[in-house]
Amino acid sequence: MDAVFLFGCGFIIAGAVIAATVRPLGRALTLFVAAVVPGLVMNAGFSIERIVSLPSVYPLIPSIPWCEPFFRADGLALYFLLVVTTVAVPTIISAHSYLQQHLGRGAAVRAFLVSFSLLLLATQLVVLANHAIVFLVFWELMTLAAYLGMLLEKEKEEVQKGSFIYFTTTHMATFILYVFFFMLHAHAGSWFFTDFHIAPDLGLLFYGVCGLGFLGFGIKAGFMPFHFWLPWAHPIAPTVLSAFLSGVIIKTGIYGIFRVIEFCSPLPAWIGILIMVVSVFSAIFGVWYALAQHDIKKLLAYHSIENIGIIGIGIGTGVIGISYSVQSLIWLGFGGALFHTFNHAIFKTLLFIGSGVIYQNFGTRDIERMGGIVHRAPWFTALFLVGTLAISGLPPLNGFMSEFLIFKGFFESASALGKYFPLFMLVMAVGLAFVGGLALACFTKIDSVMFLGTERSSLGAFTVTAADYAAMGFPALLCILFGIYPQPVLGIITSVIANNRWGIALQPYTIFAQWNMLTLVFVSVLAAIGCVFAAKTIGARRRAAPAWACGYRRQTPKMQYTASSFADEINSIAAATLHLRTHTSAPETIFPKRSKFDSHAGDFSEETFVAPLYHAIVDRAGAIESLSRTDIRYYILFMLIVVLVYGGVAIVWTYF
C-alpha cells in the first residue's frame, strides 16, 4: 500500500511541474488541480486503509531500505495525514476559481502554485517523520512554503508585515524545537521518535524537555498568549492558503503536542490542569476577540484560536486521565480533542473558502460594507450557514459532537477523581459553555450583517462558480454527515487511541459504540422537521412582498444594525482586555446631518508584550551601524553567525 502514497506524492509533484512549465497560465491552473486532487485522494485512502489495519505499524517506504527507519505510519501520524488530505482537497478545488482574478500576475501565480505543492508535500511528511532531523527539515520546508505562498500580493504593505510576523514567530518556535530535540537526543542517544522517552524522575531535565516541547508546538498551534501571529497571517494570505493554514498548519502544533505527551508520559496531573487553564483562556478570549472584529478573515483567525483552546481542553483532560490511570478520561479527553481537530479543519475550511468568495465579489473583507447576500446567492448562503452552525457547536452538526465528548469528560472527571476536581471541572464546563454562547453571538452577527438585510455597498452581481460550490459543498456535507453519523470517524479515533505509546493498555470504551441512539434521535428530529416543512410548503400559495420597514416607506442600509453596534454590549464587558476603542459621533441638533459609531479591538498580547519588545530590538539593532549596511557580504556574515549559533547549540547538547 506504500506505493499508493508514493504515487499520490508523485501526482502532487507533477502538479508543481505543470504549474511551473505549462502555457498558458489558465490551462496550467486547470491541469494543476486535475493532477493534485487525485494525489490527495490517494493519500487519504492510504491513511484510512492503514488505520483500519492497526495495530500493525508499517514502515512507510519498505522498498527503499535506507529510507525505511526515517518515516513511520503509526495511528497518530495516519490520523493527521487524513486531516491534511481531507482539508487539502477542497482548498485545491477552490484555488481554480479564486486564482482566476490573479492570472494577470503571471509568475506570481506560478510561484504560489509551486509553493502550495511543496506545502502539501512537506505537511504530509512532517506527520509521517520518525527522525528528529528529518522532521525539522520538513517542518522548516512547510514554514518556508507557507511564507512564500503568502507573497502572492507582496506589493501590499499589510502582506509584507503579516508575512514577516508569521515568518519570525514560527522560526522562533522552530529554534525552541531544535533545543527540544537536542535534549531528547542527548538523553536517548538516538534521533528516532520510537526511541524517545523521558521519565518524570529525571527532575529538571524532564520538566525542561516538556516545557520546551509544549512551548514550541504551542506557538505553532496558536495558544494564547503566543497567538498574535494568526490574526496577521490569515487575513493577508490568499484565501485558499488561509483555509489550509487554519485547517492544517496550526494542527501540526497539536500533532506535536501529542508527540510530546508520548515522549514524556506519564505526565503529572498538574500539567494537565495547566494545559486546561491555558486552553480555556485561549478559547474564551479567542472568541471574544473574534466578536470584536470587522475583518471577516481576522474574525475567522481568532476563531481558530478559540477552537485550538477547545482542543487543548480535551488534551488536558486526557493528560489527567493518564496521570490517574482513569481510562474513561483518556478516551473522552483525547477522543474529543482528536475529533474536534478533524471537525475544526472541516468547518473552518468551509468558512474560509466562503469568505474568499465574498471577498472576490465585494472587493473588501470589511463586514460593515456587506449585506443582502442571501437575496443574490441563497444556496451559497445555505452552505456558509452550515459552517457557522457547526463552529457554534449546535446539534446535529459535527462541532457539537466533539464538544459533547469533552463536556462528558468533565463530568467523568468530577465523579471519578473527587477532591478538588468536581469544582475545577465545573469551572471548565462553565467556561466552555460560555465559549459556545459567545461563538453563537459572533456568528449570529456574521449571518445577520453579511447575509440579511439590504446591500450596504453597490454590487453588480454576486458570482459563485461551480468550483466554489464543489469546494464548499464537500466540507458542508461532512459537517452534516459527521454530526448525524459520527461512527466512522469515532471508529478511526478508537484505533488511534487504542494503539498508543502512553504505557497504558486501554480497554474499549462503550460510549463510542453507543452513539447509534443519538444518531436515531437526530434523524428522527430532522425527519419530523422535514415533514412539517413539506406540509407547509407543498401546494401552498406563495406571496411576495417587501420586507416590513417599521412604518417607513423604504428600508435603507442606515436603518440596519452594523457589526459594531450588534456586538457592542457584549464587547464592552471586557473592553479593557480587548483593548476596545469606540468612536462615536452623536447627533447634536434635532436635525442632525450625520452620526457615526464604530469600534476597533487591539490585541492585548501584541500591544502589551510583542510590539514593545519588537520596537526595542529594532531600536537596539538600528544603533549598530553595521546592520544598516547594504553590502551583501554583511548579510552573508549574519547568516554564518546564525548557522554557528545553531551548530553551537547542537554541539553543546550532543557532547555536554
d(CA 482, CA 229): 31
Q: Say which residue the cell 471519578 belongs to.
A: 416
- Inform me whether the pLDDT recorded for 202 exceeds 90: no
Question: Mind listing the pLDDT tens digit for each residue in 312-332?
Answer: 999 999 999 888 888 888 888
pLDDT at 638: 75
Quick check: 615 pLDDT over 80?
no
pLDDT above 90 (res 277): yes
If DSSP codes are grouped into helix, strand and coil, which group holds residue 581? strand
What is the separation of C-alpha 514 from the centre of its chain, rounded to a whole number of angstroms? 29
Over range 489-518, report the average pLDDT. Answer: 73
CB count within 10 Å of CB 593 equals 7
In a domain, 39, yes or no: yes
Least confident of 57-61, 114-118, 122-126, 167-171: 57-61
Give the whole-number percent of the chain exceeding pLDDT 90. 27
pLDDT bracket for residue 510 (50, 70, 90): low
pLDDT beyond 90 at 39? yes
Distance CA 450, CA 445 (A): 8
Q: Read off the pLDDT of each residue in 71-95 and give the average, rounded to a whole number.
A: 91
Domain annotation covers residue 460: yes
What pLDDT sits at residue 491? Answer: 84
Rounded to an integer, the average pLDDT of 222-242 is: 88
pLDDT, mean of residues 441-470:
82
249 and 292 share one domain: no
Closest CA to 276 of 219, 214, 326: 214
Q: Which pTM does this prediction carry?
A: 0.89
User: Is 327 within the bounds of a domain?
Assistant: yes
Mean confidence (pLDDT) of the chain: 83
Residue 56 CA to residue 240 CA, distance in Å, equals 36
Out of 48-52, 180-184, 418-422, 593-597, least confident range: 593-597
Q: Among 483, 509, 535, which residue terminates a domain? A: 535
Instruction: List pLDDT tens digits, range 529-571.
Output: 778 877 777 766 766 666 666 666 666 666 677 767 776 677 6
Amino acid 496: pLDDT: 86
Asked if residue 257 and residue 293 are part of one domain, the reply reads no
Domain range holding 350?
Answer: 278-535
**Over residues 96-112, mean pLDDT:** 84
Lowest mean pLDDT among 41-55, 492-506, 578-592: 578-592
Do 430 and 324 fall within a single domain? Answer: yes
**What's the rounded mean pLDDT across residues 399-417?**
84
State the first-to-last Cα distance of the chain, in angstroms, to the nearest integer.
43
For the chain, what is the total number of helices (H) and then of strands (E)? 26, 4
**Residue 163: which pLDDT band, with cuts at 50, 70 and 90?**
confident
Per the structure, how many domains does the chain have?
2
Check whether residue 238 and residue 339 sit in a common domain: no
Q: Which of 535, 565, 585 is the last residue in one of the domains?
A: 535
pLDDT, tens only, 379-389: 999 999 999 99
160 and 285 assigned to the same domain? no
Helix (H, G, I), strand (E, B) or coil at 583: strand
**Residues in the chain, total:** 656
User: Is the domain of 62 the same as that of 94?
Assistant: yes
The candidate with the shortest Cα–Cα distance to 344, out of 259, 287, 296, is 287
pLDDT of residue 308: 94
Bigger pLDDT: 413 vs 594: 413
Q: What pLDDT was estimated at residue 168? A: 87
Does 56 have pLDDT greater than 70? Answer: no
pLDDT at 401: 87
Does the residue 442 lie in any domain? yes
Q: With cut-offs at 50, 70 and 90, classify the pLDDT of residue 600.
A: low
Q: At residue 652, does pLDDT exceed 70?
A: no
pLDDT higher than threshold 60 for residue 629: no
Task: Check whether 91 has a pLDDT greater than 70.
Answer: yes
Q: Are residues 242 and 384 in the same domain?
A: no
Is residue 640 in a domain?
Answer: no
Binning pLDDT at 50, 70 and 90, where does residue 310 land? very high
pLDDT at 359 over 70: yes
Please state which of the ranges 203-207, 240-244, 307-311, 496-500 shows the lowest mean pLDDT: 496-500
649 has pLDDT over 90 = no
User: If you ran DSSP here, which 8-state letter would residue 129 be given?
Assistant: B
pLDDT of residue 4: 84
Q: CA 530 from chain center: how many Å?
A: 33
In a domain, 254, yes or no: yes
Residues 228 and 312 in one domain: no
Residue 289 pLDDT > 80: yes
CB-CB contact of 587 with 595 (8 Å): yes
Contact criterion met (CB below 8 Å) for 177 and 221: no
**Mean pLDDT in residue range 479-492:** 88
- Asked, for residue 13, whether it belongs to a domain, the answer is yes
116 pLDDT higher than 90: yes
Percent of the chain with pLDDT strictly greater than 70: 82
Band (pLDDT 50/70/90 cuts) for residue 598 is low
> Longest Cα pair distance anywhere in the chain, in angstroms?
85
Is residue 626's pLDDT more than 60?
A: no
Helix ranges (H only) for 447-486 are: 466-484
* Cell numbers representing residue 491 in the block: 471508529
For residue 606, give Cα distances in angstroms to 312, 360, 573, 612, 616.
Answer: 22, 30, 20, 8, 14
Least confidently predicted of 147-156, 271-280, 365-374, 640-649: 640-649
Same domain, 244 and 292: no
**Among 485, 519, 535, where does a domain finish?**
535
- 295-305 pLDDT tens trace: 888 899 999 99
Check residue 647 and give its pLDDT: 74
Asked if residue 374 belongs to a domain, the reply is yes
Between CA 103 and CA 457 the distance in angstroms is: 26
Instruction: Report, as an integer, the average pLDDT of 631-655.
Output: 72
Cα 634 from chain centroid?
38
* Across 442-449, average pLDDT: 85
Which residues share a beta bridge with 598? 583
Using pLDDT thresholds of 50, 70 and 90, give the confidence band for residue 486. Answer: confident
Same domain, 85 and 186: yes
Closest CA to 373 of 473, 301, 464, 300: 464
Q: How confident is the model at residue 587 (pLDDT cuts 50, 70, 90)?
A: low
250 plus 283 within the same structural domain: no
Burial 71-82 (b: 16+ CB within 10 A, else e): bbbbbbbbbbbb
pLDDT band at 276 (very low <50, low <70, confident <90, very high): very high
Q: Which residues pair with 366 in a beta bridge?
A: 295
Q: Do residues 177 and 293 share a domain?
A: no
